[in-house]
Amino acid sequence: MASRARLIPTRPKPSEQVTWHTVKSGVFSSAELAIGQRRMEAESYLSSGYGVRRAIEGRRDWVPFGKLAGLSAPPRIKQIFVSREFGVPYLNTSQVFETRPAPRKFLATGKTSKAKDRLAAEGTILVMASASPGRSTLVTAAHEGSFISHHFMRVAPRDDSRAGWIYGFLRSPQGQQMMSGSQYASIIRHIEPHHVAALPVPCVSDEIALRFTERVSEVRRLRNRAFELAEYADRLFEDALGPIVLPQSTSGFSVNSSELTGRRRLEATFHSPVAAGISRLFKRSDRLSDITERVWWMPRFRRFYGESGIPYMSADELFTVSPQGLKKILVGGDESYAQYLVNPGWIVMACSGQVYGTNGQATLVTERHKNMFFSHDLIRIIPKDGAVRAGYMLTALTHRTHGRPLLIREAYGTSIPHLDPGDVANFPVVRLDSAIEERIADAAEESAIARFEADACEVELSKEAGKLIDCFISGESLLA
């Protein structure tokens, strides 16, 4: 593995340090225990969410969340697995937040309790009920026709004209803090529909509500656009190559020892007939190293976080939609941290994680990523000018059936598999007719831009909702 970096982070300022013996404490009236859930945990009353809640409830013109929307949560699911052609795709908690969910499980509809309730129409608001309680997202075209995990509450606005404000409230910092203050349990945190239904929501004017509804519609439009363009690019790529021809049986196969060249990989997965079948479709290909300026990763480093730092982007945050609460990393004053920044037009790829998950996922860097500190756990790829466009290169690397199997077979390790930049640099990028490559590149690059524009729009929506709630707490009316 790469050596440890030395000059990147600085220690937190004294004002940002929390000593080990600091105890957060407070005094509350016993009358507080007679309200609502009668929570006995000190955490519930010492959280910032409790203070926000009391501040909103101390004002007029607010209503409980349950007056604005109904909340429901399907019961735990008994999973009866069937093959893809006979079942309905099932998305777990992490897959719901993927830009293009890739279902790994397919459930028998007839054996699934309350099957219809587990489907969600486009535009439905989902709120996580466990693990990361309160994290919210929207159902888009990428989720339709799939069973959604029971770990998500479904939010049904009672008045569609208020749907945008409802989502903005859930995404706001204050909404997140209040939901965090309502969670319970120790190892895996939970929140129930009645907890969310009791949250105080400031009343807003029709004009504000309309503005939020338009913002949410734009987020959905951009997400659907990104999904459709990515699917289109993949279809073009797959149609140009044709179907993969496999042996009649892939349950067992043999490999000649003469083929164990280079890295001399002995794992059976590396020599999979699927990878061999993909390679047979390639009439001409270029090694990634021949059409790029550089393929590399950064060394590990010690890190410290603080509000005065710059936004930090990990692999998990990069490959999920609408990440909330990006950390800020403290950097030194000698500009050595600049080597961890990336430039628009590059490709970044996750180089660790499970082979069925984040590992090997890649995306294009856009203008939105300027001045963000990117994790060392992301391989950087710089396309060479005049060689192959980044959008086409991305599709060739990540296509689910005609690209990714060739890439992910290079992963090594057991508990947490890794991809090495040297192995990625040897990836064979198939070459097609130039016109087809251009069409694929156009679609893939437009998809990346639309996706990150949707995230930016959602971030602004969250910030605006937070500012309005602050104004409401300070005494301003949001009904004018």
Q: What is the DSSP letter of 414?
A: S
Distance CA 445, CA 230 (A): 9
Closest Cα to residue 320, out of 368, 358, 353? 358
Residues 198 and 248 in one domain: no
Identify which of 32-36, 65-69, 93-97 has the greatest average pLDDT: 65-69
State whether 275 and 409 are in the same domain: yes
- CATH number of domain containing 142: 3.90.220.20
**Does any domain span residue 72?**
yes
Residues in the chain: 480
Over residues 246-265, the pLDDT tens digits come to 876 656 778 888 777 777 78
What's the rounded Cα separation, in Å, for the pair 254 and 269? 12
List pLDDT tens digits, range 336-352: 888 999 999 999 999 99
Find the range with the poorest average confidence among 6-15, 149-158, 282-291. 6-15
Domain assignment present for residue 36? The answer is no
Average pLDDT over residues 302-317: 88
Reference 65, options 189, 149, 191; nearest CA is: 191
Q: What is the mean pLDDT of the chain?
A: 87
198 and 319: one domain? no
Q: Which domain holds residue 186?
A: 49-202
Residue/partner pairs of 20-27 with CB below 8 Å, 24 or more apart:
none
Range with the lowest mean pLDDT among 29-38, 171-180, 422-431, 446-455?
29-38
**Assigned domain for 177 exists:** yes
Which of 282, 475, 272, 292 shows the shortest CA–CA distance to 394?
292
pLDDT at residue 401, as a whole number: 94
pLDDT tens-place string over residues 367-392 = 989 889 999 999 999 999 999 999 99
Q: Which of 33-47, 182-196, 426-440 has the highest mean pLDDT?
A: 426-440
Give the pLDDT confidence of 3-62 residue by residue, as tens digits.
444 445 555 565 555 455 565 566 666 656 555 555 556 555 555 778 888 899 999 999
**Whether residue 422 sits in one domain with residue 290:** yes
Is residue 425 scored above 70 in pLDDT?
Answer: yes
For position 450, what pLDDT does the model report?
96
Residue 8 placed within a domain:
no
Instruction: Note whether 64 and 166 are same-domain residues.
Output: yes
Residue 13 lies in a domain: no
pLDDT at site 114: 83
Q: In this structure, are 301 and 427 located in the same domain?
A: yes
DSSP 424-480: HHT-EEE---HHHHHHHHHHHHHHHHHHHHHHHHHHHHHHHHHHHHHHHHTT--S--
Is residue 355 within 8 Å of 417, Cβ to Cβ?
Answer: yes
One domain for residues 146 and 270: no
Predicted confidence at residue 2, as pLDDT, reads 44
Domain count, the chain: 2
Q: What is the pLDDT of residue 119?
A: 87
Is residue 168 a part of any domain in this protein? yes
Task: Determine the longest span between alpha carbons in the chain, in angstroms.
Answer: 79
Q: Is residue 111 part of a domain?
A: yes
> Within this chain, do residues 174 and 281 fall inside the same structural domain, yes or no?
no
Type and span of the H or E element at 275 = helix 273-280
Same domain, yes or no, for 185 and 77?
Answer: yes
- Both 144 and 280 in a single domain? no
Pair (56, 165) in one structural domain:
yes
Of 330-344, 430-444, 461-475, give the lowest mean pLDDT range.
330-344
Q: Is the pLDDT of residue 411 over 60?
A: yes
Between 201 and 43, the higher pLDDT residue: 201
Average pLDDT over residues 291-320: 90
Identify whether 197 is part of a domain: yes
% of the chain surpassing 90 pLDDT: 58
- Angle formed at CA 324 by CA 450 and CA 216, multiple of 5 degrees: 50
Strand partners, 86: none
Q: In this structure, how many other beta carbons lie within 10 angstroms of the beta carbon of residue 337?
A: 21
| pLDDT of amino acid 285 | 95
Predicted confidence at residue 3, as pLDDT, reads 44
Reading the block at residue 292, the tokens are 């790029």
- Pair 335, 426 in one domain: yes
Q: Would the pLDDT of 432 be above 80?
A: yes
Helix (H, G, I), strand (E, B) or coil at 255: coil
Model confidence, pTM = 0.87
